Amino acid sequence: MERRGFLGAAAATAALPAQVLHGQASARRVTVVGGGFAGASCARALKKADPRIAVTLVEQNAVFHACPMSNAVIAGLREMYRQRFTYAALRADGVALAPLAATAIDPRARSVALSDGTRLGYDRLVLAPGIDIRWDALPGYDEAAAQQMPHAWQAGEQTLLLRRQLQAMQDGALVVISAPAGPYRCPPGPYERASLIAHYLKAHKPRSKVIVLDAKDKFPKQQLFLSAWSELYPGLIEWVPLSRGGGVVSVEPATRTLVTDFDRYRAAVANVIAPQKAGRIAEAAGVADRSGWCPIDPVTFESRLQPNIHVIGDAAITGAMPKSAFGANTEAKSCALAVAALLAGREPASPRLINACYSLVAPDYGISMAGIYRPEGGEFAEVAESAAAGAADSPGAARPLEASNAEAAFRRRASRPATSRRSPCPIRSPGKGATLLAGVRSSPIARPGCACSAIAARFRRSRRKATSRRICGVRARAGPRHSFACASSIRCA
C-alpha cells in the first residue's frame, strides 16, 4: 500500500516539466535534501509558511525506514512494515519530489547535482541528510564488517540483520553492544536496545546475557534504566562503563570479537554502534567542520561555513539539544519559518525547541525525558528548570502509559508531522484528548507519566511564583488556553 502511494508520487514527479524540478523563475526556490524526520517536516512546513515558495524535496530512497521503535523490531516485538513510510502525503501538500540522491553542491552557483546528472537551482538550501557511520574511526570496522557486526543505527536492512542474528544464536551465547562516545544519534538508543534484547533473551534464550561496552561513564536516563534493569532483567544486562574498561578500541569481524584496553569479548551477536558524523553530502557541501558535524546559527539554522545553506536534524551541531526524531521535527519547523522570513526580507524570531524522548524498557514499560531549548552563546542551551524525567517519580501504572506515549509520539512524527501553531500537543496520550494546556486558570491535564506532564508540573510550580513570567518563551495569559508543547515547539512570539 505504502509502496504504491510513493510510486504514484514518484511517477508524477518524474513527469514534472523541467522548470518545476529546476525551480520556477518567478517563485523563490527552496531545495531540501533528505526526506527523514527533519527534511520532510521542513519541506511541508515551508509550503505551509508561504505557499508561494517552490519547495523541492530531494530524497534518495523510495521508502523511508524510521529508526524510532526499530529496537522493538530487533527484539521481535514489532514488524518492519510498521517502520516504513512513503512520500505521497508530501506531494498532496504541494512539495515537488526529486526521488534521487544529491551528489554534489555548488554553494557559489547555488545548485545541487543529482544522481541522474541534472542540477537543481535554489535560493536557499536546507540540508537534512541525517548521519553516516565514520568508517575510519574504529579499527577493523568497515562496511564489510557491518555485515558481520551490524550497527543497525540506520534502519532497514541492518535492523533485520541484527534481528536474524539474535534469532539464530544459541541459548547461552553472548550478545555484546558497543555504545559510542557522544555526539551520536539518539543518546538513550543503545540502552533501549539492550533492554529490549534482554526482554527477548528472557523469553527465548534465558541462559544468554547482554554486555554493553560503553565509551562513556554516564548516559541519559541512567537511573531509570538501571533501576528498570534490576527490576525486570536481574543478571541479564551487564553495563561496562569507560572507567571500567568499556571503551572498544578495535573489532575483529571474522570472530565477532570486540577488543578493549583490558579484555577481548567474543560475541555470538555483536552490535557495534560505531562513531558517526553528518550524512556525507554535508561534507561535500562544505558545511561540516573537522568534527564531522555542521555548525549552525541557532536562530536561522544557517550554516556558519556556507551562506544560504541551512542544516537541520542529526547532521547539525545543536549544543544541548539531543539528536532525536522529535528534536529534528521541531528544528525543521523553526527552520522553515526562519527561511520563509529571510526570503520575505523579515528578521527571523528566536526559536524555542522542545524535545521529548521516550524509551521502551519492555513492551509495556516506558521511560521518558523532556526539555526545552533556546539559542544561547551561539548554540542551543536547555532552558533552566525545563528538563523533566517523566517516570522518575511516577507510579508503576505510568510505565505502560509511557510505553503507549512512545508509540503515539512515533506515529505523529513519522506519518504526518504537525505544522500548525495551534495543533494538538504532539506528545499527548492517545484516546482521551489529553492535550497539554498551560493557561493560568486551566490545570494541565496531561496524564501522569507523560513527559509533557512533568514539564507542566514545573510550569505550575513556577506559576505560583509569578503569574506573568515567561515560561520557555510562552507568555502565560489568563483566558485563552494555550497549547504549551506545540507553541513552544514551533516559535514563540
Ligand X SMILES: Cc1cc2nc3c(=O)[nH]c(=O)nc-3n(C[C@H](O)[C@H](O)[C@H](O)COP(=O)(O)OP(=O)(O)OC[C@H]3O[C@@H](n4cnc5c(N)ncnc54)[C@H](O)[C@@H]3O)c2cc1C
Residues that bind ligand X (CB under 6 A): 33-39, 58-61, 64, 67-68, 70-71, 101-102, 128-130, 153, 185-186, 189, 279, 281, 313-315, 323-326, 328, 357-358
In the complex, the smallest distance separating the C-beta of residue 489 from ligand X, rounded to whole angstroms, is 12
**Residue 246 vs 417, nearer CB to ligand X:** 417
In the complex, the smallest distance separating the C-beta of residue 176 from ligand X, rounded to whole angstroms, is 17
Burial class (CB in 10 A: 0-12, 13-18, 19+), 216: middle
**Residue 245 vs 430, nearer CB to ligand X:** 430
**Residue 339 vs 476, nearer CB to ligand X:** 339
Q: Are 232 and 362 in contact (CB under 8 A)?
A: yes
Between CA 458 and CA 449 the distance in angstroms is 14
Query: Which one, of 358, 485, 353, 352, lies nearest residue 409 by Cα?
Result: 358
**Residue 271 vs 476, nearer CB to ligand X:** 271
**Residue 201 vs 356, nearer CB to ligand X:** 356
**Residue number closest to ligand X, CB atom:** 36
Residue whose entry in the numeric block shows the C-alpha cell 545541487 = 112
- Cα 397 to the center of its chain, rounded Å: 27
What are 358's strand-pairing partners? 368
Query: Which one, of 492, 169, 246, lies nearest residue 353 by Cα?
Result: 492
Classify 166 as helix, strand or coil. helix
Strands 131-133 and 276-278: antiparallel
In the complex, the smallest distance separating the C-beta of residue 84 from ligand X, rounded to whole angstroms, is 12
In the complex, the smallest distance separating the C-beta of residue 177 from ligand X, rounded to whole angstroms, is 11
Instruction: Write out the three cell numbers for 240.
Output: 561496562
In the complex, the smallest distance separating the C-beta of residue 409 from ligand X, rounded to whole angstroms, is 7
**Residue 64 vs 301, nearer CB to ligand X:** 64
Q: Are 308 and 123 in contact (CB under 8 A)?
A: yes
- Looking at residue 347, the DSSP 8-state letter turns out to be P
**Residue 36 vs 449, nearer CB to ligand X:** 36
**Residue 16 vs 445, nearer CB to ligand X:** 16
Query: Which one, of 402, 73, 362, lies nearest residue 203 by Cα?
Result: 362
**Residue 127 vs 437, nearer CB to ligand X:** 127
**Residue 50 vs 314, nearer CB to ligand X:** 314
**Residue 102 vs 367, nearer CB to ligand X:** 102
H or E element, residue 455: helix 451-465
Between CA 193 and CA 361 the distance in angstroms is 8
In the complex, the smallest distance separating the C-beta of residue 271 from ligand X, rounded to whole angstroms, is 10
**Residue 126 vs 456, nearer CB to ligand X:** 126
What type of residue is 108? R
In the complex, the smallest distance separating the C-beta of residue 397 from ligand X, rounded to whole angstroms, is 22
Query: Which one, of 111, 106, 3, lies nearest residue 56 by Cα?
Result: 111
**Residue 261 vs 364, nearer CB to ligand X:** 364
DSSP string covering 215-255:
SSS--TTHHHHHHHHHHH-TTTEEEE-GGGT--EEEEEGGG
Q: 438: how many CB neighbours lie within 10 A of its CB?
A: 26
In the complex, the smallest distance separating the C-beta of residue 274 from ligand X, rounded to whole angstroms, is 12
Classify 471 as helix, strand or coil. strand
What's the length of the chain? 493
What Cα–Cα distance (Å) separates residue 174 from each residue in 210, 257, 269, 414, 417?
6, 11, 7, 34, 39
Residue 203: partners with Cβ closer than 8 Å, 6 or more residues away:
none
What type of residue is 210? V
Between CA 395 and CA 464 the distance in angstroms is 25
What Cα–Cα distance (Å) separates residue 369 from each residue in 56, 243, 255, 396, 451?
34, 26, 38, 16, 6
Q: Are 435 and 427 in contact (CB under 8 A)?
A: no
